[in-house]
Amino acid sequence: MSFSDSDSSSNGGDYKNFRQISRERLLHEMLRSAKTGDSKSTWKVLIMDKLTVKIMSYSCKMADITDEGVSLVEDIYRRRQPLPSMDAIYFIQPSRENVIMFLSDMSGRSPLYRKSFVFFSSPVSKELVSHIKRDSTVLPRIAALKEMNLEYFAIDSQGFTTNNEKALEELFCDDESSQKGVACLNELATRVGTVFASLREFPFVRYQAARSLDATTMTTFRDLIPTKVAAGVYDCIMKYKKTIPNFPQSETCELLILDRSIDQIAPVIHEWTYDAMCRDLLSMEGNKYVHEVPSKVGGPPEKKEVLLEDHDPVWLELRHAHIADASERLHEKMTNFVSKNKAAQIHQGSRNSSELSTRDLQKMVQALPQYSEQIDKLSLHVEIAVKLNKLIKEQGLRELGQIEQDLVFGDAGTKEVIKFLTTNEDASRESKLRLLMILAAIYPEKFEGEKGQNLMKLAKLPPDDMNAVTNMRLLGAAPDSKKSSLGSFSLKFDIHKKRAVRKQHNGDEETWQLSRFYPIIEELVEKLSKGELSKDEYPCLNDPSPSYHGPSHTATVQPPPAAHSMRSRRTPTWARPRNSDDGYSSDSILRHTSSDFKKMGQRIFVFIVGGATRSELRVCHKLTAKLKREVVLGSTSIDDPPQFITKLKMLTAHELSLDDLQI
């Protein structure tokens, strides 16, 4: 038996992205090592708990697992059939309950399996290791006992979550949840640490500093969330530095830890990309979309589940495109396909079968398999795009989207919001709530006392929704000491002035009229990459040497040249860029992302406590192409607007001070 960390290295050879490395560790280091190790059995059983099942499913498909010699996947807490001639691979969290279940399986005269290969998802305590070693009947049956240190969900090629869905509630709530808050911080810090163990990366750890209002104001627990997470992650990495073979001994990448207060608008503003609109407007469960297809036997339409994931090339191409651009491209794809494919032409044509020549029939049969597969994928996305455009029209989202953008860029204020609410009484409850939440994030003083209640009455929103608006403000600071970006003196005299919380992007990238908004992390990552991020606002736990941001590190890489837009006049005016006649899209840099990763610079990791958004994930893909550095986004969860609003309603208005909680 060996007790060690499973060895891997992302250095050398072809560059692999974040999810590829995670996948290869699970398949090769874990499953394949059991296949080629101390084993006489060809097929094995894979046993996991609820969390590790999800970890595996986000990175690998069942076919991948089967290819590595696994014939059966089992839940450690389910009653299982004894298979004494087969070996078992355990991929489990290092909890006392899991260890007890494992020992129960493998102890006594009749163990469930012949040999066991045990892989823990995160560091296991010495006490649990001793507990395992004390069982003399189990010890000879353990072929491997290793720490995989992989306890995160690889939800995207450049994104992960730590599965702390209640982080917003547990960390931004009142003192009744203090112990839950401690447990949440410790757990997510450990899980973030396993990302760097998997990638063999040693980061410079930077974090969002606590807001210091003045000398008399007490720093709250909420203010120190990024600080405490940074300390926890750094502690994990220091241990990995000593215990993991080939772990780098000097810094190799950058990590920036933030919390949701950094950008309160991103989770609720309407995003106009194909991906974000699907998640926002369609009733999707994760990546699963359910649609109706014609019955093959002539009955009523059948419901079919499809996954909108990386294996779908159409989804991969269009997910970050503006919905108008995606619709346009889908139309062009369908037109091109029909014009080139004989079977499709015949299918689209009006001739009956008696008019078809033998040659036509032969061509149709030859083209049919390809036609069927391709037309299914195109039809799926055409159906989705049509549905989205219909919902945009029915819900009046263009006008709403315009006022949202104008609020953010200082082109509108409370007066325009009141006018919108007065003239759009039939707007949906959620649309009006999201608009008021954006207003509250920019103009918090407008929601003090009766003013806020009057706005809610005007919008005809119930008290339950008022909680979401109030708690939106609480994300920023304490209710009794809420600071404005303009300061109290300015507010007194500039109360009617409009505020811009984003600067208009000027330069080589034009934007859609309804997609001017960008998440604040875009600015922060660009500054971090240039070495221009404020050390006061974002301190570094292991401060880099002056030479770190040298010429070799910050060599300017020009983004790919913009391709000439091919949009036709069918593009509606609401979707056209404000500053461009040719309709140059903000996602152009994504379409030109180089597939050559060999020249990639050092990775940048951004972790957001309290939930990240689709727009923030999109920005990381965009900046990877622009900066030539893989930007990986991590968070406690990925929240679409309805999810975020539900979570926000669960917060309370009570402040949690450091007197109530010590870590």
Question: Which of 475, 493, 527 is the C-terminal boundary of a domain?
Answer: 475
Indicate if 628 and 524 belong to the same structural domain: yes
The domain in which residue 139 lies consists of 18-151
Q: What is the pLDDT of residue 212?
A: 64
Q: Which residues of 611-627 are buried (b: 16+ CB within 10 A; e: fewer)?
A: bbbbbbbbbbbbbbbbb
Residue 620 lies in a domain: yes
Residue 291 amino acid letter:
H
Band (pLDDT 50/70/90 cuts) for residue 386 is: very high
- Residue 210 is encoded by which pair of tokens? 């606590």
Indicate if 204 and 247 belong to the same structural domain: yes
- Residue 127 DSSP one-character state: H
- Does position 576 have pLDDT exceeding 90, yes or no? no
Residue 372 lies in a domain: yes
Band (pLDDT 50/70/90 cuts) for residue 493 is: very low
Q: How far is the CA of 168 from the CAs of 122, 142, 340, 475, 568, in angstroms?
A: 23, 40, 52, 9, 44
Q: What is the pLDDT of residue 361?
A: 56
Residue 212 lies in a domain: yes
Q: Percentage of residues in the chain with pLDDT exceeding 90?
A: 56
Indicate if 253 and 319 belong to the same structural domain: no
Q: What is the pLDDT of residue 280?
A: 93
Q: What is the pLDDT of residues 330-385, one digit of tens each?
A: 988 888 877 777 666 666 665 554 555 666 655 655 555 666 777 778 888 999 99
- Residue 37 DSSP one-character state: S
Q: What is the pLDDT of residue 362?
A: 58
Q: SS3 of 442, please?
A: helix
Residue 590 lies in a domain: no
Looking at the 3D structure of the chain, how many domains does it have?
4
Tell which wins on pLDDT, 649 or 343. Answer: 649
Residue 605 lies in a domain: yes
- What sign does the CA torsion over 425, 430, 431, 433 have? positive
Which of 125-139, 539-553, 578-592 bottoms out in mean pLDDT, i.e. has the lowest?
A: 578-592
Band (pLDDT 50/70/90 cuts) for residue 243 is: very high
Indicate if 302 and 383 belong to the same structural domain: yes
- Does position 40 have pLDDT exceeding 70, yes or no? no
Indicate if 341 and 422 belong to the same structural domain: no
Contact between 606 and 133 (Cβ < 8 Å): no
**CATH code: domain of residue 145:** 3.40.50.2060
Residue 490 lies in a domain: no
- Does position 606 have pLDDT exceeding 50, yes or no? yes
Q: Helix and strand tally (H, E) in the chain?
A: 24, 14
Q: What is the pLDDT of residue 643?
A: 92
Angle at 421 (CA atoms; ends 417, 427), nearest 5 degrees: 125
Indicate if 299 and 380 belong to the same structural domain: yes
- Residue 205 is encoded by which pair of tokens? 């750890």
- Does position 37 have pLDDT exceeding 50, yes or no? yes
Q: SS3 of 477, please?
A: coil
Q: What is the pLDDT of residue 291?
A: 83
Sheet of 142-147, strand order: 3-5, 142-147, 116-120, 87-92, 44-48, 70-75
User: What is the C-alpha radius of gyration for the chain, rounded to an integer number of angstroms?
Assistant: 27
Residue 39 lies in a domain: yes
Indicate if 425 and 469 belong to the same structural domain: yes
Q: What is the pLDDT of residue 480?
A: 37
Residue 415 lies in a domain: yes
